[in-house]
Structures are given as C-alpha cells and as structure tokens.
Homo-oligomer: A and B are copies of this chain.
Amino acid sequence: MPTIKDVAREAGVSIATVSYVINNKDGAVSESTRKQVWEAIERIGYTPNVTARNLQSSQTKLIGYSWHRVLPGQVNSILDHFTYYLAQSAEAAGYHILTFTHDADNWESVYTDLIRTKRVDGFVLSDTQYNDPRIRFLLDHKFPFVSFGRANPEWDFAYVDTDGRHGVLEIANYLIHLGHRRIAMIAWPEDSISGGYRVDGYLEAMRKAKLPVPANYIWRGVHEVQTGCDAMEYWCRLPKAEQPTAVIAISDLIAIGALNGAEANGLVVGKDISIAGYDDVPLGQYLRPALTTVRQPIPEISAMIVRLLQAMIAGETPPKHRILVPPRLIVRNSCGAPTPEQGRSTD
C-alpha cells in the first residue's frame, strides 16, 4: 500500500504539499502542482490511511451503537431497520457505525472502555428508559451522544423521538371515526416513558370525543406477546355490554398477543373486534388479518440523529436538539374497514 511519501516522491514534491492537495487547502497549492500530485496519486493508487489521520486529528470517525440484546426467538421490533438506516446516514456524513454489545449488568465498563480507549467519537442510544443510567453516565462524562427516544424531561440532552402521543391519538381518532365508543388500551408498565406518551394520546382522544375510559380499560403488562393475550382474556370475561369493541395495543408484539387472545375467545378480528398495533414490525403485514398500525419514519429519524451527533462531536450545541417527529398511520385490516370511509357501528 502506497503512503503519502510515495506520492511525494512520485510527484517530486514534499509530503506537506501532497497533504495540502488531498485536503483541498484552498489556494495553498498552484494549479500545476496540484495537477501533478493528483496524477501521481492516480498512477500509484494512493488512498490516505484512516488510522494515521485519526491519530493526528484525535478522532475516530466511528459512532458507537449498542446492539440491544436479542434473545433467541424474540422479536426485534423495528430496531434492525433503524440500524441499517443509521449506518447509511453515518456513512453519508463520513462516519461508520461500530456496533457493540453488553449485558444488563456490565454496560458501564463497556462504555467506559470505549470512551477511554478513544474507540468512538460518540454514541447513539436506543431503547431508552426513565432514569436511563447510560444517559446519566454520558451526560456526567460530557461525552457526545444522541438518543433515539426520550428519558427524564428534566435532563437536557439531544434526542430524536417519534411523537407517540400523536401516533396513538391518530389511531384512536381513526377508531372513533369508524364508530367505536368502547375503546381499550393495552399499555406498558407505568414507568415506561414512551409508553406514557402513547397512553396520553389515547386519553386525549377519548376525552375530546367525550368517551368514557373505565379504569379497567387500560391493561398494563410487559413487552411480551403474552401480555396481549392476557388483556383480551380479561376483557372477554366482562359482560358483553362492557366489553371493548376496539383495542389499541401499545406495540405490534402485544397486538399479536391480542390477536391470538381474541381468536382463542372465538372473536373474529376485524369483524367482532378491532385491534391496532404500534411499530409496524416487518411481519405485521403478513398476519391474518394484516395489522393496522403506526409507522415511525426511520430513515428520516436516522438522518436527524447523525446530524445532531455530528454537531455535538464538533463541540456545538445545536439549538434544536429535542426533536419530535410524527409517525404515520398504516391502515390494514385488523380494524375491519381498510379505508376510513367504510365505517361501522358498534352495536
């Protein structure tokens, strides 16, 4: 592999001049020299060594992204999708993504190591929580990062998130428009932050439509298929007149459970009951009935995250660093009507 020295020798100039040329130092090199150098570069096939550049500029052009734990057979929602677009956005900005893993308990040593060995210039976080220790840690260490998802409102850090309140509000309005009046929701435990926003959207839509929300219309459970089954099981045991006619699941995974639970109780989804999800997981369109859900604009989100992170690495504090993007309702047929026009009554 040729180095800058070889180019210098070949072009009959100093290595400094070569450096000026490849770094486009404006007007620092005469047109003729510049041409000679480029020709030499072409001739011997030279490309600057990234590691040497990085050492010199004390950067790495690498963004760390911790691949969240995936248990065998577990569903990975849309995060694999996110990873792809994140890498693509990073590349467009001259960066690469370094994916790393860690367990629930050793995350701190992994992050510490990455920072102290100067392995990466910054981090992208996803799957954030209230009091997320990683955010607290990076904030304390003043290390650049941007998260996909919010955490404690009082913490000041850069994030991009989908507006879950808005997303569920749209689903709820869609169901209300379809004629439903008894709409229930399957939510995550109360300590989930994104879960909280989504429930807010549900409550807001119900309030505006002046529809009642009995206490037992919000079922809470962990992010597992079983949660959806359990909720449906419960509601199906209610007297007919108290049963919800539509259910909003806080995630597609839980919606799948609800689908199963409903059918297990003899209900035909899309006819006897409407079920909507949230996330638009890859297989959602292949379920029977295909799942009506909400999709986050992942490509755009990835691009925003990289842009923010790049600014933070450069030491700037972008004025707008709390970004909320609206998700999009994907109407399929688990809520019956494939189009809002085909409304139906509940009784």
Contacts and interface: CB of A to CB of B under 8 A. Distances in A.
B98 A70 contact: no
A282 B76 contact: yes
A50 interface: yes
Contacts of A113: 47
Interface in A40-95: 45, 47-52, 54-55, 58, 60, 62, 67, 69-70, 72-76, 80-81, 83-84, 87-88, 91
B75 A87 contact: no
A262 B117 CA distance: 56
A116 interface: yes
Contact of A80 (B51, B70, B100): B70
Interface stretch (A29-37, A283-291, A315-323): A283-291
Interface in A138-180: none
A204 interface: no
Contact of A49 (B117, B225, B283): B117
A118 B81 CA distance: 28
B119 A50 contact: yes
A121 B70 CA distance: 26
A265 interface: no
A97 interface: yes
A260 B288 contact: yes
A280 B51 contact: no
A97 B96 contact: no
Given A116-B1, A260-B288, A88 B60 contact: no
A339 interface: no
A98 B97 contact: yes
Contacts of A69: 84
A48 B264 CA distance: 59
B118 A1 contact: yes
A150 to B, nearest CB: 24
A256 B286 contact: yes
Contact of A81 (B70, B97, B119): B70
A99 B101 contact: no
A285 B76 CA distance: 14
Given A50-B118, A96-B98, A260-B286, 20 more contacts: A1-B118, A47-B116, A47-B117, A49-B55, A50-B119, A51-B58, A52-B55, A70-B81, A72-B81, A72-B295, A73-B282, A75-B282, A75-B283, A76-B81, A76-B282, A83-B99, A88-B101, A96-B99, A96-B100, A97-B98
